[in-house]
Structure 1
Amino acid sequence: MSDIFRKMPIERILNERKEGPQLKRVYGAFELIMLGIGVIVGTGIFVITGVAAADYAGPALTISFIIAGFACACAALCYAELASMIPASGSSYTFCYVGLGEVFGWFVGWCLTLEYIVAMSAIATGWSAYITNLLSVVGIHLPSFLVAGPFSGGLVNLPAIIIVSAIAGLLILGAKESANVNNFLVIVKIGIVILFIVLGVRHVNVANFTPFMPYGWDGVFSGAAIVFFAYLGFDAIANAAEEVKDPAKDLPKGIIGSLIVVTVLYIAVTLVLTGMLPYLKYHDVAAPVAYALAQVGVNWGSALVSVGAVTGLTSGVLVTMYSSTRLIYAISRDGLLPTKFSKISEKASTPTSSTFLIWLLGCLITGFLPIGIIAELVNMGTIAAFIMVSITVIKLRQSHPEIERSFRVPLVPVVPILAVVICGFLALQLASITKIAFVCWVALGLIIYFSYGKQHSLLGKELNAKTSIEDKRSV
């Protein structure tokens, strides 16, 4: 059983990534920040702020966002150090393979596969709902059986399949093209958020900030647990490592930079929302930003929110699909999944086979399955990855102190331990059914690992061959 704990040598990763087919290096720090914002800022900024303020923290939700941002920052700092140290595709999977061993790497990779594919499918389903509503506004009414899967009373969610297919085609076309489209979408999205802030701040009434903390510190911490999930996604930046021009410097900038920008946007939107109207007004309001604008006379607010939501969801589908293809590519390259999924197209230098696999799974899930039931698993998978990555930082500081790190987590092991404790606490807040489903998913992953991955591991084959040669020499 000791062979399941074999560790991928860092030197092997760095050397191999310089040989053979290469992914094109097209990302700089700016593109990475946009990549992070693209996946983190979705419809949540237009929805979760109002609901969390009304039901949990009131105007003190700003403090909730700061606490949640701090929790994510602890994990983000760990990602930044490991990304600068091991600039390879696979993100948490690769980090844990190096620091903790193969079975732990597989565990994290399996969790992230769930996170990215389910998140992509959930985002595509939301995109479908917004597009369907926008089309109905202009007089185009799609048949109900074409906008919902069999479990939701329809036949197939066709718009969701269309956006998944379009993004897959874009990713196959090339990383540079994908980055340009994402940059445009994120600029539009940020522009709409800033426009709301500019419009709303004129109608802020300071009296609405009183009481500032109506639910006390319990409400603030409960609010932090809720809004923590609005930050998820920055780990996707690390998956772009092999397509970054200067990964040692740009990856930490992208991870930390995107987290800072997102935190500022979340806090600004929360302050404006709770200042425009009393926080209790947002109770059971599904679209608080549109509602607030309508209440102060900006009646085209719903259109503003719809455009922001569509651009946000489109960039969300793009980044989650991109990340999942690079993750499958990395796992396959190590032999834990069939190696055909690590093939790179000669023309575009993109992993076409892994993209096709993710496209197929995405179409099946978003087009036909009840996505709402499994969407919460995204949170559990992400938290598990955060915990394992934080532990890896401590482990590699002990085992490989000599490896160059262009970015170093401050106050090790305090910061990584904080990340583990906070993430563990948040995991306990999730529903029991989510925890049970996660355990089942992990069990399925371990079955696949022991029945396929362990036997086909390229590292395992190399170590076995080396052992066999040494045994013959000793005889």
Structure 2
Amino acid sequence: MTVQQTSLPASERPDVRRLGIGGGTALCAGAVLGPGVLTLPSLAAAAAGPASILAWVVLLAMCVPVAAAFAALGARFPDGGGVATYVHRAIGPRAAAVVGWWFYGAVPIGVVSAAWIGGKYVAEAAGWGDIGAAGVAGVVLAGSLVSNAVGLRMSGRVQLLLGGLLAAVLLCAVLAAAPHVSAGHFTPFLPGGWSSVGSAASVLFFAFAGWEAASHLSGEFADPARDLPRVTRRTLAVVTVLYLGLAVTTIGALGPAAADTETPLTELLAHSVGAAARPVAAAAALFLTFGAVNSYLAGASRLGAALGRDGAAPRWMAKGGAPGEVPRRSLAVLGGAAVLLGGAAGFGGADLDLLMRATATCLAAVTLAGLAAALVLLPRRTPLWCGACASALLTVAVLAFSGRLLVIPVALACAAFCFLTLRRAVHRGIIR
């Protein structure tokens, strides 16, 4: 999962000028691969059994035109604002503000989900149970909030290292589990009916957000029109191999047990290598989730400050958004929301599946907004435009399976529109 930002001046952009194909591929693959993949195979298996593989395949197929559309938009409009920039150009500033609110609102849910994943892996290895998992998740969240509040940021190299570590761990798990795959574990293939595939897709969308990352980096390439398509193709290849390999081996090696664990990577490694793999998987999960939570909060806090600066959020949130400063007010809003959500989850008000589905719903709404902008900005009736149209329809279908969770992006959109309307009324002197 990546965090969307509104347009930034050149002085605020990361210092990654002349980004190469290799570095760009690593950054984009790291944006798509996230800590959610550490638990999503089991959540998808619980929703649809072996047929969850179909959900992986469908979403991977949808990713091709989505990634191509964002790469094309990035090549045409190189800017750090990504989806918000395209929506602003295609639909207008109010719609762009809604996209910002969707991202900002998704981050507290997403960081709680990520911290919870790390807690589950550590607790499973140590035998601490749910209370221990909640405690570890709380430490991850608190540590990330403190590090951001005092201005400590992870370097781009560290983030690349963590992304590479995740890819390496996933590949090792797939290769180690492959010899243990059994054809008998794929029957019955569709125990929950076709609707279960849609339910699996709605939670798996968490693992497919992040394709707009290429558009964020568009201005950092020497030749975006030439480099972005290459980076996109390589990222697609990496993600396809890892995701399909993980989906097939989770079902084929673990069988029905795949649906009964929240730490499928640990089970795959333990099933193939032995019990010694459990602390290794736990340590890797802890580092990966801390890195992800820290990055999410760092980006989202600046997003909130940018929204305040641009009048799309309360002005007081803009404080600390200048280069070299720490947007502590925006960070405090994110931290407060995350603590409340984490407390509710810890006391049984929400489980990991629900948290990840809620995050995926907001991210799917953002993806749909980006595709809508692509349909306006890209040349019509071309293969790329038709692919974006098909992906938009598929994203709508995925959102439909979110059910009552759709209230989250709807509520955020209403809040954004109400705030903008109120601010406009105050500005005109209608309300004093």
**TM-score, normalised relative to structure 2:** 0.79
Check if 1:147 corresponds to 2:147: no
Check if 1:327 corresponds to 2:303: yes
Pairing of 1:315-354 with structure 2 (within 5 A): 315-325=291-301, 327-328=303-304, 330-332=306-308, 334-337=310-313, 338=315, 341=318, 349-350=323-324, 352-354=325-327
Check if 1:450 corresponds to 2:421: yes
Report the counterpart of residue 378 of structure 1 in structure 2.
Answer: 359
**Which amino acid is the alignment partner of residue 417 of structure 2?**
L
Instruction: Confirm or deny: 8 A CA contact 1:80 1:256 kept in the other structure.
Output: no
Report the counterpart of residue 363 of structure 1 in structure 2.
Answer: 335
**Match 2:387 to one of 404, 412, 415:** 415
Check if 1:387 corresponds to 2:368: yes
Q: Aligned partners of 1:244 and 1:335: how far apart in 2?
A: 30
Shift in alpha-carbon separation, 1:102–1:456, aligned structure 2, 3 A: farther
**Match 1:426 to one of 398, 408, 426:** 398
Cα shift at 1:429: 0.7
Please give the secondary structure, in 2, of the residue aligned with 1:147.
Answer: helix
**Match 1:164 to one of 145, 167, 173:** 145
Cα shift at 1:55: 4.5
Shift in alpha-carbon separation, 1:452–1:88, aligned structure 2, 3 A: farther
Deviations, residues 354-392 of structure 1 (Å, cap 9, x unaligned): 4x3443233323334446458444223222222222121
Pairing of 1:234-253 with structure 2 (within 5 A): 234-241=211-218, 247-253=224-230
**Match 2:26 to one of 25, 28, 34:** 34
Point out the more displaced range, 307-316 or 233-242: 233-242
Shift in alpha-carbon separation, 1:241–1:414, aligned structure 2, 3 A: closer
Point out the more displaced range, 448-457 or 311-320: 448-457
Please give the secondary structure, in 2, of the residue aligned with 1:89.
Answer: coil
Report the counterpart of residue 13 of structure 2 in structure 1.
Answer: 23
* CA radius of gyration, larger in: 1
**Match 2:377 to one of 396, 399, 407:** 396
Q: Aligned partners of 2:180 and 2:133: how far apart in 1?
A: 43
Shift in alpha-carbon separation, 1:339–1:89, aligned structure 2, 3 A: farther
Shift in alpha-carbon separation, 1:253–1:173, aligned structure 2, 3 A: farther
**Match 1:106 to one of 80, 83, 97:** 97
Structure 2 unpaired stretches of 5+: 1-6
Report the counterpart of residue 287 of structure 1 in structure 2.
Answer: 263
Report the counterpart of residue 40 of structure 2 in structure 1.
Answer: 48
Cα shift at 1:341: 3.0
Report the counterpart of residue 110 of structure 2 in structure 1.
Answer: 119
Report the counterpart of residue 298 of structure 1 in structure 2.
Answer: 274
**Match 2:410 to one of 425, 439, 442:** 439
Cα shift at 1:94: 1.4
Please give the secondary structure, in 2, of the residue aligned with 1:202.
Answer: helix
**Which amino acid is the alignment partner of residue 267 of structure 2?**
Y
**Which amino acid is the alignment partner of residue 227 of structure 1?**
L
Cα shift at 1:421: 0.9
Shift in alpha-carbon separation, 1:214–1:40, aligned structure 2, 3 A: same
Report the counterpart of residue 68 of structure 1 in structure 2.
Answer: 59
Report the counterpart of residue 153 of structure 1 in structure 2.
Answer: none
**Which amino acid is the alignment partner of residue 422 of structure 1?**
L
Cα shift at 1:229: 2.8
Report the counterpart of residue 3 of structure 2 in structure 1.
Answer: none
Please give the secondary structure, in 1, of the residue aligned with 2:39.
Answer: helix
Cα shift at 1:327: 3.4
Cα shift at 1:226: 3.8
Instruction: Confirm or deny: 8 A CA contact 1:95 1:392 kept in the other structure.
Output: yes
Cα shift at 1:180: 0.7
Quote the RMSD (CA, aligned, Å): 3.9
Pairing of 1:464-475 with structure 2 (within 5 A): none
Shift in alpha-carbon separation, 1:371–1:317, aligned structure 2, 3 A: farther
Instruction: Confirm or deny: 8 A CA contact 2:180 2:272 kept in the other structure.
Output: yes
Cα shift at 1:173: 5.7
Q: Aligned partners of 1:78 and 1:253: how far apart in 2?
A: 13
Pairing of 1:134-283 with structure 2 (within 5 A): 147=135, 157-167=138-148, 172=151, 178-209=155-186, 220-241=197-218, 247-254=224-231, 257-277=234-254, 279-283=255-259
Deviations, residues 327-354 of structure 1 (Å, cap 9, x unaligned): 3455455443439838765xxx55x344
Cα shift at 1:447: 1.6
Please give the secondary structure, in 1, of the residue aligned with 2:212.
Answer: helix
Identity of aligned residues (%): 19
Shift in alpha-carbon separation, 1:297–1:78, aligned structure 2, 3 A: closer
Deviations, residues 287-321 of structure 1 (Å, cap 9, x unaligned): 23323444456112322321332233133224423
Instruction: Confirm or deny: 8 A CA contact 1:38 1:315 kept in the other structure.
Output: no
Q: Aligned partners of 1:321 and 1:239: how far apart in 2?
A: 17
Instruction: Confirm or deny: 8 A CA contact 1:186 1:315 kept in the other structure.
Output: no
